[in-house]
Amino acid sequence: MNLLPWCIYLSLAGALLSLAAGRRSPAAARWVALLTAAAAWAVTLLAAVQFVPGSSLQTLVDLAWIPMLGARYHLAVDGISMTLLVLTGLAATAGVLFSWNIATRTGEFFAFYLALIAGVYGVFLSADALLFFVFYEIAIVPKYFLIAIWGSTNREYGAMKLALYSFAGSAIVLAGLLWVYAAGGGQSFAFGELTRAAATLPPHSQIAVFGLVFFGFATLAGIFPLHTWAPTGHVAAPTGASMLLAGVVMKLGAYGCLRVALPLSPLGFAFWQAPIAWLAVIGIVYAGLVALRQEDLKFVIGYSSVSHMGFVLLGIAAANAGAVSGAVLQMFSHGVIAGLLFAVVGRMLYDRTHTRRLSELRTMPIYRLLPFAAAVFVIAAVASMGLPGFSGFPAELTILIGAWNAAHAWAAVAALGIFIAAAFTLRAVQLGFFGGAREPEAEAPPRGQAGTPHYGPISLPEKTGAVLLVAATVLVGVRPDLLLDWINPALQSPLFQAVLKGGAP
């Protein structure tokens, strides 16, 4: 367990090594990146195996850092962080596999990539608000460069929008955090201390502080109406980056809402709970409806990410044990599923067909030309729809139960979102992959025949990545208790208990 902080250090080391290896050859950089990502993931899995779920954060490292500010280098883990750490490792490894074909400035690509991952690991391990914030911001700059240099559609605009929104969100969070910190006499950035400090503020200030911190984090989570950066940014990003951005980095925002904002001020939360929940369900439905009208397949997935994150936010807003555990489960589930979706569309499909427009794809029988891609996309699509048997179902079910217990109307509108998700996902599947000739012919047309597109086979890294992700979503779909047994005890901690009301058992 004590090796767990090494996931951060390994990733950082890997970033530097990739940069150096990239000077020799792109292949060297790739292998360095893969080994590093896999090693960091292995560290988290090892810790997961040894992990004993408990209600409090289990400290890994606690050193004095900036005594003048009262900040400590304090790393700790609980069930919620454990879940997300494992997700990060998985998404990172799969992302490296799906970025195997990056040929220009490969070393720099993986350097930025691993730096981003290091920041993400750091956020999930931080138990000091300043340290949390530092890692959170570390993750911002690599995002910009990953998209601006290696991206596709509208990449400079998408990158800038994404970076600025993220930074603006974090600036708002910093304002709120410093406000509370100062009110507490500037002694400590520990979560419990900040909560105590917040309690000394007058009610209006508490409401304002909570609003600042929550909405600052929720911006990165894609809360409506601050979500517009997400589809643009994720579409512009290269595949490996989209997988990570939509899959894990958006969860940073939700994690911040859960870990930092939620316990900060029960009074503030009580004021904001209903607006947040309504914004979340509106986001679920609205993003789904917009996805239904998109022409670019990647945009469909981008909006579907916003819609799924709406579920996470709803779970957090409902603030009972069931809903929040469902939210964390959904964070994991969507992380995997979004990774799959972007991987297929970006890497397997776009890199070969060079189009993502549904109006063009529907004329091509992709399912015969790229059967593996179609199969994986179907699996990802049905998982995304919340089909039972995959990880999305237990997550959404638990959130719905929790939401119902909080306010029936929220659950009802959210259930509508499930239906809309089915509609746009199915449309994407149908138009994107199953267009072309109506009847399957005797066999797929011989390769290389005049007029028939000839696509390269799906490479081994792609297949490996896909298998990893599919296995994860099926495993969690069939055995969600593997994760819920970690998450539920963590919600028993005093900080959460002060905010969580009763609810589903």
Partner 1 sequence: MNSFPLLSCIVLVPWAGALALACLPRLGSAASRVVTLLFSLSTLALGLVVLGSFDRSSASYQFVESHAWIQSLNVHYHLGLDGLSLLLVLLTGLLGPAGLLASWKQAQNPRFFGLLYLVLQGSALGVFLALDFFHWFVFWEMSLVPAYFLIKLWGGRGAAPAAYQFVIYTMAGSAFLLLGFVAIFAATGTLDFPELASLGASGALAANLAAFGGYWPQAVFIGVFLGFAVKAPLFPFHTWLPAAYAEAPTGVSMFLTGVMSKMGVYGFIRVLWPLFPGQLHAVAVPLVWFALGGAVLGAFAAMRQTDLKRMVAYSSINHVSYCLLALFAVSAASGESAPGGAAAAAALSGALLQMFNHGISAGALFFGIGMLEARSGGRRGIGDFGGVRSAAPVFAGLFGIAMFSSLGLPGLNGFVGEFLIFRGVWGLEPWAASIACLGLLATALFLLGFWQKVFHGPRAGAAAARIADASGTELTVLVPFAALMLLFGVLPQLLTGIFNPLITAWNAHTFLP
Partner 2 sequence: MNPTAYAGLFLALLPEASLAAGALLLLGLDLSLFRHRDPALRLRLALWTGAIAVVAAAVAAWLGPRGSVWGASFSLDNLAVATQVGVLALTLFALGAVRGAPTPRQPAEYVAVMLFAATGLVLMAAAQQLLLVFLSLELASLSLYVIAGFEARRPESTEAALKYFLFGGISAAFLLFGFSLIYGVTGSLELPAIAAKLAGGGATPPFLLALAMVLVAFGFKTAAAPFHLWAPDVYQGAPAPSAALISSASKLAGFVLFTRLLWSAAGAAQAPAWFPTVAAISAASLLLGNLAALAQTNLRRLLAYSAIGHSGAMLLGVMAAGRFGPAPLFYYAFTYGLAVVGAFGVIGVVDRAGGCESIADLAGLHKRSPLLAGCLAVFVLSLAGIPPLAGFFGKLSVFSAALRLGGVAGPAGLLSILAIALSAVALYYYLIVLKQALVAGPVPGARPIKVPFATALALLGSAALIVWFGLDPNQLLGVF
Tell me the C-alpha distance between 444 and 366, whole Å.
11
Tell me the C-alpha distance between 9 and 318, whole Å.
36
Q: Which of 51, 145, 377, 404 binds partner 2 (CB under 8 A)?
A: 145
* 405 binding partner (options partner 2, partner 1, none; Cβ < 5 to 8 Å by kind): partner 1
Which element (helix H / strand E) includes 281?
Answer: helix 266-292
Q: Is 215 in the site for partner 2 (CB under 8 A)?
A: no
Q: Which of 174, 277, 301, 403 binds partner 2 (CB under 8 A)?
A: 174
Q: Is 422 in the site for partner 2 (CB under 8 A)?
A: no
Q: Is 296 in the site for partner 2 (CB under 8 A)?
A: no
| C-alpha distances out from residue 102 to 115, 238, 239, Å | 17, 9, 10
Q: C-beta of 152: minimal distance to partner 2 in Å?
A: 14
Q: C-beta of 134: minimal distance to partner 2 in Å?
A: 4
Per-residue H/E/C for 184-231 = CCCCCCEHHHHHHHHHCCCHHHHHHHHHHHHHHHHHHHCCCCCCCHHH
Q: Is 289 in the site for partner 1 (CB under 8 A)?
A: no
One character per residue 479-498, x = contact with partner 1 (rule: CB under 8 A): -xx--xx--x----------
- Stretch of residues binding partner 1 (CB under 8 A), selected from 219-227, 311-319, 338-346, 384-392: 384-392
Q: Is 505 in the site for partner 1 (CB under 8 A)?
A: yes
The residues near 432 (Cβ < 8 Å, ≥ 6 apart) are: 297, 345, 349, 358, 361, 362, 366, 377
What tokens were used for 75? Answer: 């790393």
Which of residues 38 and 168 has its CB atom nearest to partner 2 in the complex?
Answer: 168
Q: C-beta of 8: minimal distance to partner 2 in Å?
A: 12
Q: Is 79 in the site for partner 1 (CB under 8 A)?
A: no
DSSP-based three-state secondary structure for 61: strand
- Stretch of residues binding partner 2 (CB under 8 A), selected from 74-82, 140-148, 310-318, 342-350: 140-148
Burial status of residue 492 (CB atoms within 10 A of its CB: 0-12, 13-18, 19 or more)? middle
Under DSSP, the state recorded for 420 is H
The residues near 178 (Cβ < 8 Å, ≥ 6 apart) are: none
Which of residues 216 and 322 has its CB atom nearest to partner 1 in the complex?
Answer: 322
Which of residues 185 and 388 has its CB atom nearest to partner 1 in the complex?
Answer: 388
Q: Which residues pair with 73 in a beta bridge?
A: 63
Q: Which of 41, 98, 100, 179 binds partner 2 (CB under 8 A)?
A: 179
* 145 binding partner (options partner 1, partner 2, none; Cβ < 5 to 8 Å by kind): partner 2
* 389 binding partner (options partner 1, partner 2, none; Cβ < 5 to 8 Å by kind): partner 1
Q: C-beta of 378: minimal distance to partner 1 in Å?
A: 7
Cα 236 off chain centre by:
17
